[in-house]
Amino acid sequence: MTRSATPGPRPTLADVAALAGVSPATASRVLNGTAGVSGTARTEVHNAVSRLSYVRQRARASRRFKVSSIAAVVCEDGVRLFADTFFSRILLGAGQALRSGDIQLVLLVVRGPADHGSVERYLSKGLADGVLLISAHDRDPLVPMLRAMRVPTIAAGRPMTPGEMPYVDADNRSGAHEAVRHLLNSGRHKVVSIAGPPDMAVGADRRAGYRDAISEAGAVGNIVYGDFTPTSGEHAMQRLLEHHPDLDAVFAASDLMALGALRALRRAGRRIPDDVAVVGFDDAPLALHTDPRLTTVRQPVEDMGEAMARHLTRRLIGEVDMPPATVFRTELVVRDSG
């Protein structure tokens, strides 16, 4: 049984170090965000902190009722961060909500494991009162790190592990279901899908909505995965055309992947929507400028960002009745592509 399960003195840094199998100096370096500590040692120390319920006195505690800074931690490489308007839109919504409270929004970009240390060091100094976690994948080590550091966090999108942290999301499953049902009801018989990453709940939920509609119609579905980028959508569409040349509709789990699908279909000589109907998801600004204009599922991204910021700030000032999840409705926007 761990110390956290029995009454007694509050655990100390020495207890953390002993449980982690490192020296107190190493444990201190990890908790202070100092460089020069192996990834294994960092993981063991954070696990020990969590198991012992060890609480450090951090700089943030002195501002208990005054929130001054929120960090938006975005887990994406720089290319997608600036190419996909989802990120700018959700940050815009969050920034608008924080501006009224004179709260600074700081952007921290996690392009890969090498950036975890810098994020950890920044947060361990108490420079941010809370975190808006955006685009984290399943089993991302940032999640247990934030939990071990006891940094108040809210996620953009449902975490893959239930109850992991509060979140704000769109009803991705229902939105995808409505999009595919629209295609089937319009007379399409062979509806395929370009799904998002399977290690993200947004990808899993939109895939599930597609499968729900296909199953209800008694049809046979075919799925190829992408990563929400136009290139992945283009490659996925090429594979679908090769293996299922009789397809007459495609549901892409993002507008950017739908853009790639349009390119592949046009190159293959398929007319849109005459030969193949295309529906995306997001209602990004580009949906009005594709040829033809893209039918898509609208999610209120700016509203989601605003809700994240308001939830986190209310939690930071001590409100305890905050909902564990806020889910926004989606809307099918029918244009010219399907």
Question: pLDDT tier at 34 (50, 70, 90 boundaries)?
Answer: low
148 contact partners, CB below 8 Å, separation of at least 6: 46, 47, 49, 50
Residue 35, pLDDT > 70, answer no
Q: Could you give phi then psi for residue 145, rounded to 5 degrees?
A: -65, -45
Output the pLDDT for position 4.
40
Output the pLDDT for position 297.
98
Whether the upstream peptide bond of residue 198 has omega within 30° of 0, thus cis, is no
CB atoms within 10 A of CB 117: 18
Output the pLDDT for position 2.
40
Q: What is the residue whose two structure tokens read 């062979």? A: 190
**319 and 159 in contact (C-beta within 8 Å)?**
no
Kindly tell me the burial class for residue 75, based on how many C-beta atoms sit within 10 Å of its own C-beta (0-12, 13-18, 19 or more).
buried
The pair of structure tokens assigned to 37 is 């500590």
- Taking only the tens place, the pLDDT of each residue in 8-23 is 566 777 788 889 888 7
**Over residues 96-123, mean pLDDT:** 89
- Taking only the tens place, the pLDDT of each residue in 128-185 is 999 999 999 888 888 888 888 889 999 999 998 888 899 999 999 999 999 999 999 9
Alpha carbon distance 236, 226 (integer Å): 7
Highest-confidence range of 33-37, 62-66, 74-78, 87-91, by mean pLDDT?
87-91
**63 and 313 in contact (C-beta within 8 Å)?**
no
Which of 14-18, 100-104, 240-244 has the least mean pLDDT? 14-18
List the one residue out of 124, 90, 126, 83 whose CA is nearest residue 107: 90
**Over residues 221-235, mean pLDDT:** 97
**Over residues 202-221, mean pLDDT:** 96
What is this structure's pTM? 0.80
Alpha carbon distance 31, 103 (integer Å): 25
